[in-house]
Structure 1
Amino acid sequence: MAGIDGFGTALQRGDGATPTEVFTTIANVTSINPPSMERETLDVTAHDTANGWREFVGGLKDGGEVSADVNYDPAEHDVLVADFDDENPRNYRIVFPDPDATTWSFSAILTGFEPEAPFDDKLAASLTWKVTGKPTLTDES
């Protein structure tokens, strides 16, 4: 069988405590997009480059963004509004429902909190975080 069912994936928010940070699952998440990492390339082509083909080397890396959609519940999610006001990054992680409990851990700043309240549907919100530094992919096996 190929593929893993995404149901049960958890988005968790760290409390910033030291030495042992505690992570709490953000409730009512309906969709999560893990870090969208990118890398720049630097053009190192010179007049004496062989055969006239451009040459590149890897440049700076960017942890990208993480986004999530939630069934918005002010009692559950207003702590995230407070994160939006915070200038300092917070630790988050995404825990996948695979047998190894694969986890993306990352530090990020909440850059977008977009709630909606349509007259004919549920309260919802879209959240966006800008990752700072290197996201870490691990498993518990």
Structure 2
Amino acid sequence: MSDDVKRALGTKLKVGKGPTPTPVAVAGLTSISGLELSADTIDTTTLDSDGGYRTFIAGFKDAGEVSLEGYLIPTTGKGQKELYELFESGDTEDFTIEFPPETGTKWEFKGVVTGFSTSADLEDPLSFSATIKVSGKPTLTVGTGE
């Protein structure tokens, strides 16, 4: 089991940009969290439901949000400017979270940047954070782990 556990080092978030998306890896990332998949339920309970228990069927699914944190690199921070521009435009864009290459695993999804912030603290490096709301069905590709 422990041989199968991999470090997160090498994980990337890529932003597809333009009419022919040429993915740009977001520089300086220290954390990528999400996707947060969930599903609504629809109550199908009737007056003659067995044993007094409610019954349900699955409703709409939601892939949630992806949160990013990292070091703000104003002059050469590839991908950071693109995230800000997507926040300003409100456009839906292609995104890919690529886990370390040896895993061969990635999430691909469309999303809207719903938050972008920067921080300047006396004792810390310049930083930024961003939030991407996933739109539609994401695709998980699982590698062989070799």
Q: TM-score, normalised by structure 1?
A: 0.91
Matched, 1:96 2:93: no
Secondary structure (helix, strand or coil) at the match of 1:99 reads: helix
Give the counterpart letter for 1:126 in structure 2. S
81-90 vs 94-103, greater mean Cα deviation: 94-103
Tell me what 1:82 maps to: 85
Secondary structure (helix, strand or coil) at the match of 1:84 reads: helix
Q: Which runs of 5+ in 1 are unaligned?
A: none
Tell me what 1:73 maps to: 73
Give 4+ residue runs of structure 1 displaced > 6 Å after superposition: none
How far apart are 1:37 and its partner, in Å?
1.2
Give the alignment partner of residue 131 of structure 1, picking from 126, 130, 134.
Answer: 134
Q: Distance in 2 between matches of 1:139 and 1:60?
A: 24
How far apart are 1:15 and its partner, in Å?
1.6
Q: CA offsets per residue over residues 69-120 of structure 1, 9 Å max, x none?
A: 0101122223321111112201010001153421100111101111100012
Give the alignment partner of residue 4 of structure 1, picking from 3, 6, 23.
Answer: 6
Give the alignment partner of residue 125 of structure 2, picking from 118, 122, 127.
Answer: 122
Q: Structure 1 residues 27, 66: closer, same or farther in 2, change over 3 A? A: same
Q: Distance in 1 between matches of 2:49 and 2:18?
A: 50
Give the counterpart letter for 2:122 in structure 1. F
Matched, 1:54 2:54: yes
Q: Distance in 1 between matches of 2:82 and 2:59?
A: 36
User: Aligned residues: percent identity?
Assistant: 35
Give the counterpart letter for 1:134 in structure 2. K
How far apart are 1:2 and its partner, in Å?
4.0
Count of residue pairs brought into register by the alignment:
139
Give the counterpart letter for 1:6 in structure 2. A
Q: Distance in 2 between matches of 1:5 and 1:74?
A: 28
Kept after mapping to 1: 8 A contact 2:34/2:64:
no
Give the alignment partner of residue 17 of structure 2, picking from 11, 15, 18.
Answer: 15
Q: CA offsets per residue over residues 40-90 of structure 1, 9 Å max, x none?
A: 011111101011111110000011100110101122223321111112201
Tell me what 2:37 maps to: 37
Q: Which runs of 5+ in 2 are unaligned?
A: none
RMSD: 1.5
